[in-house]
Structure 1
Amino acid sequence: MMKKLLLAAAVLPTFSAAAQAQSSVTLYGRIDAGLEYMNGVPTGVGPNGATGSSSRFRAESGDWGTSLWGIKGTEDLGGGNRAVFKLENGFNAMNGAAQGNLFNRWATVGMANDQFGTLLLGRMLFISNGVWDFDPFGQSNWSSASLVRGRNWPQSSNNISYQSPKVAGFDFYGQYSLSNAMSWNGNGTTAQGRQAGAQITYTVPLFQVRGLYDEIRNPNNGSLGGAYNPLNGANGLNQANGNGAYAYSREYTAMFNLFLGQFKVQGGYQAIRTSGMAFQLPGQPTTLDHEWGGVTWQATPAAALIGAVYHVNGNNGAGNATIYSIGGSYNVSKRTLFDLQIATVQNSKGANYGLNANNYGTAASTDNPLRGHSQTGVYAGIQHSF
């Protein structure tokens, strides 16, 4: 009997170690902070919006990339199957404030298999964030999200997503987000309307291309447009989101990466469309055409220089705007880099797009420059990942 007990005691740690080896939990994150100068910042309050402009110098978090932290894990279930989870929150490094809910970016659980793909349920970045891989500035604060007022980087709740394995260079990713309302597309009883999207990517050593379609529906009525109630004035606009095409619309996107040794050439085109909007405001578009292109030169293993141009054109008097930007980064280690970006946005007569992904409107609180005016900024910072 004593021999059996001693044998069991010797074998138990082996089984325990094996069980632990089959599961893992990782704490990870990124802290981005720096100093920012910007001119063309709106000031004053008038019947038609801001009445003047000025310059601003401030400490800023997340200009080069969102400050975030998260926990992710996996458990080996045998037969090539794994249970996976991911929890992630964005925060402001300058004041420590969290963005929205505790896990506002990711809160998912699901199953993964190298042969069959990954199925996730929960809250996650919306599929339009697939632009990130094809944006020369990686969706920094002044890049492909700016001229579509954040349309490229929302989050999505009540989501079901599937990522396929790569087959002959192709892979597929799809999302479907329920409105959780009695009406399938949304009827004003929940915070989110139905959302869905799909993307196909083809990758070879020389180049990569991606096609993406998605739609985000207005939770108030399930439509592809941001209507508002004029009887409520500005409050009605805020209630139903006056961002219109920038918030609730369909998006058709085609993008490419070209790998040429030390150089990477990137570009993309987006067609953003609505189904029309009730009580449409002047300058509030129902269609947007957005394109960009840029080059990254990996001068050394540590130093990268970037140049890019972004352009948008909207109907209904929204006008057009172009962002010209140069910048780069220098990795002082595998986890820490210094970054610099200089950018200017040039607006047509009726347009008021800013460098940041600001909401539609002319109020000083939006941070948009005056109509027809330009806005220029410089950002320098440090980013550490763990």
Structure 2
Amino acid sequence: MKKALLAASLLTIGVAAHAQSSVTLYGRLDAGLEAMWGVPTGTGANGQATDSSHRFRAESGDWGTSLWGLKGAEDLGAGYKAVFQLEGSFNTMTGQGPGNNGLFNRWATVGVASDQYGTLLLGRELYIANGVWDFDPFGQSNWSSASLVRGRNWPQSSNNISYQSPKIAGFDFYGQYALSNATNWNGNGTTPQGREGGAQITYTSSLFQVRGIYDEIRNPGNGMLGGAYNALNGGTANPDNSNGNGVYAYSREYSAMVNVFLGQFKIQGAYQAIRSSGMTGQLPGQPTTLDHEWGGVTWQATPAAALIAAVYHVNGNNGAGNATIYTVGGSYNLSKRTLLDIQVATVQNSKTANYGLNANNFGDATATDNPLVGHSQSGVYAGIQHSF
């Protein structure tokens, strides 16, 4: 009888422990068809593009990155939980991946969470600049807030220590600090990432939400907020900042953003000042500062259907010129997990600028898929997205 009671007790403890822990598999698949006009073609004697054409292709991730991941929590008692998250991206159209830089290129974190004291994490995360997502009308789709800053708003970051506070009187704080892991604190060319970090504060009410972010990304080669350009294609890529060099990858960023909630309508706006220092070797048209702003409105016409319109603008110094993206689109939810999406956009460049709809590297159109200098680029995308 005692053995039976002991077995029953152990079984009960096992069930209780299982109930206090959880592991969730999740993901998202995004795929569609894209048509684009103003795509560079042909090369002249200097190897630069000389003409433009159109392109029709199958695409993955225009509306949102295709990804999969695991996350879990274990109850430690006294209001504390051990938490982890593993997440990698992949291309739905080719099956390539997951991850450009490893199996879990987006998230690989472990830490401790408390409803009272907040969450402390260690590992690889989306960089704090991704905090613009909540204030971008198109949610950082391929043609939105990252395009005109050539990917500066959506990198990942390794070697992180991060803290997310609980919400107190409508305010919450998030901080992130990433070590270079080099013998020089800021980076000296011996590691693929320089020192990175930032802080974010948000106030949320039923009528509006405001957020401020300060962040900086150091050049891993010299630890500076900038760096030497490669004159042909805007600089060599590194594993954590593949969208160009200079101010677009290594810089300070100051962001102020707002959401306003008006029934079926959400109005969003933002301003970003992006600044570098210590840059050398830049040619005319290669900026050291950027001023970036956007605004837009989302109309939730029905519980399933949303219509979106937005404008994004950037202005760079050193002859970089300015560019504006005008875009409209929307989504229709077939279910809680599946939606159809569409986006139509055009980018208009000043006579010295060549920003594209995609977050291409800085440089000549032939090497980067940017439009010809002073030319526009337009596109339409329609697809389907499923989350699980």
Normalising by the residue count of structure 1, what TM-score does the alignment of the two structures yield?
A: 0.96
Query: How far did 1:11 drift?
Result: 2.2
Check the 8 A contact 1:227/1:277 in 2, yes or no: yes
CA 1:134–1:236 in 2, change beyond 3 Å: closer, same or farther?
closer
1:63 alignment partner in structure 2: 62
SS at match of 1:290: strand
Check the 8 A contact 2:234/2:362 in 1, yes or no: no
1:300 pairs with 290, 299, 302, which one? Answer: 302
Query: How far did 1:276 drift?
Result: 3.8
1:34 alignment partner in structure 2: 32
In the TM superposition, what whole-angstrom CA distance separates every residue of 1:308-366 from its partner, at most 9, and x where no partner exists?
00000000011000000000000010000000000000000000000001100014231
2:126 alignment partner in structure 1: 125
Which blocks of at least 5 consecutive residues in structure 2 are unaligned? none
Percent of matched pairs sharing the same residue: 78
Q: Does 1:134 align with 2:135?
A: yes
Query: How far did 1:235 drift?
Result: 8.3
SS at match of 1:223: coil
Q: Distance in 2 between matches of 1:90 and 1:226?
A: 28
Q: Distance in 1 between matches of 2:355 and 2:278?
A: 21
In the TM superposition, what whole-angstrom CA distance separates every residue of 1:55-94 from its partner, at most 9, and x where no partner exists?
0000000000000000000000000000000000000000
Q: Does 1:222 align with 2:220?
A: no
Q: How does 1:247-266 map to 2 (within 5 A)?
A: 247-266=249-268
In the TM superposition, what whole-angstrom CA distance separates every residue of 1:192-236 from its partner, at most 9, and x where no partner exists?
00001000000000000000000001001001113136xxx6489
Query: How far did 1:26 drift?
Result: 0.3
Q: Distance in 1 between matches of 2:314 and 2:161?
A: 31
Greater shift after overlay, 373-382 or 4-13? Answer: 4-13
Query: How far did 1:13 drift?
Result: 1.8
Which blocks of at least 5 consecutive residues in structure 1 are unaligned? none
Query: How far did 1:8 drift?
Result: 1.2
2:353 alignment partner in structure 1: 351
In the TM superposition, what whole-angstrom CA distance separates every residue of 1:120-169 from its partner, at most 9, and x where no partner exists?
00000000000000000000000000000000000000011000000000
Aligned length: 381
Check the 8 A contact 1:317/1:350 in 2, yes or no: yes
Q: Distance in 1 between matches of 2:146 and 2:88?
A: 20
CA 1:63–1:86 in 2, change beyond 3 Å: closer, same or farther?
same
1:95 alignment partner in structure 2: 94
1:196 alignment partner in structure 2: 197
Q: Which amino acid aligns with 2:266?
A: K
Q: Distance in 2 between matches of 1:360 and 1:151?
A: 12
Q: Does 1:44 align with 2:16?
A: no
Q: Distance in 1 between matches of 2:34 and 2:354?
A: 20
SS at match of 1:237: coil
Q: Does 1:108 align with 2:106?
A: no
Query: How far did 1:10 drift?
Result: 2.2
Check the 8 A contact 1:228/1:239 in 2, yes or no: no
Q: Which amino acid aligns with 1:72?
A: K
Normalising by the residue count of structure 2, what TM-score does the alignment of the two structures yield?
A: 0.96
Root-mean-square deviation over aligned CA pairs: 1.4
Q: Does 1:171 align with 2:172?
A: yes
Q: Which amino acid aligns with 1:13?
A: L
Q: Distance in 1 between matches of 2:35 and 2:229?
A: 34
Greater shift after overlay, 263-272 or 278-287? Answer: 278-287
SS at match of 1:17: helix
1:342 alignment partner in structure 2: 344
Q: Distance in 1 between matches of 2:61 and 2:147?
A: 14
